[in-house]
Chains A and B, each alone.
Chain A
Amino acid sequence: SQQGEEDPQALSIQEGENATMNCSYKTSINNLQWYRQNSGRGLVHLILIRSNEREKHSGRLRVTLDTSKKSSSLLITASRAADTASYFCATAIFSGYSTLTFGKGTMLLVSP
């Protein structure tokens, strides 16, 4: 079953603009992770935010987590053409069921 759902499905912006992607989930989580995937390649980990954290930064990335709304957002500031990729959120559920569940992703296109 799908735990995380990203929104929007696709986003097209110009270089220099900010890109915001959202992730909603259904059940309580231990942590939430964001990954990037360039076309047809393996996923690359971007950032992890724990359930007791509200905001985290890494370079041009800012992630927020609102556990009351069961949602997270990924903000990429001053985007570059090289940021063009698909972005996935993944939720880690602290239970006996052992899985890290990925959403379907947001496809980001950054035009020069």
Chain B
Amino acid sequence: EAQVTQNPRYLITVTGKKLTVTCSQNMNHEYMSWYRQDPGLGLRQIYYSMNVEVTDKGDVPEGYKVSRKEKRNFPLILESPSPNQTSLYFCASSLAGPPFQGEQYFGPGTRLTVT
């Protein structure tokens, strides 16, 4: 089944404790991205990757890191999480990047709480 998976689905952590949210897709997609969703703000893009070893900042990259060592995986790293990073995070992938002639496939989401 074609899908984007994220782990963990739920995470409660403390300020400053490094964490990684994994994302994997099995569709051989070139383009992957991370979004965060907050009430009243909609979805905002954090980072994206056009292909292996090619990543770039989205609208809200501060406090996050990513890597793309393999085509299928695109982990999101929070080196020192803070409470303002409490949010619902989505990973997405698509066959090709801009101008996005095709749909994006979204993962199920990771709900992160930083206390």
Q: Which residues of A contact B (CB under 8 A)?
A: 1-2, 30-31, 33, 35, 40-45, 48, 88, 90, 92-95, 98-105
A31-B100, A45-B104 given; A98·B109 CB < 8 A: no
Q: Are A102 and B43 in contact (CB under 8 A)?
A: yes
Q: Are A99 and B45 in contact (CB under 8 A)?
A: yes
The reply to whether the CB of B2 lies closer than 8 angstroms to some CB of chain A is no
Contact with A along B30-49 (1 / 0, CB 8 A): 00010100001111110010
Task: Kindly name the residue among B88, B99, B106 whose own CB sees the greatest number of chain A CB atoms within 10 A.
Answer: B99
A42-B108, A98-B48, A98-B50 given; A31·B99 CB < 8 A: yes
Could you list 23 A-B pairs, sorted by A, with CB under 8 Å? A30-B100, A35-B106, A41-B109, A42-B107, A42-B109, A45-B105, A88-B42, A88-B43, A93-B99, A94-B98, A94-B99, A98-B97, A99-B45, A99-B58, A99-B59, A99-B98, A100-B33, A102-B35, A102-B42, A103-B42, A104-B40, A104-B41, A104-B42
Q: Size range of the interface on B?
A: 20 to 34
The 10 A-B residue pairs with the shortest CB-CB distance, nearest first, are A45-B103, A42-B106, A30-B99, A104-B42, A92-B100, A102-B43, A94-B99, A43-B106, A98-B98, A92-B99
**Which residues of B (28-78) have their CB < 8 Å from a CB of A?**
33, 35, 40-45, 48, 50, 56, 58-59
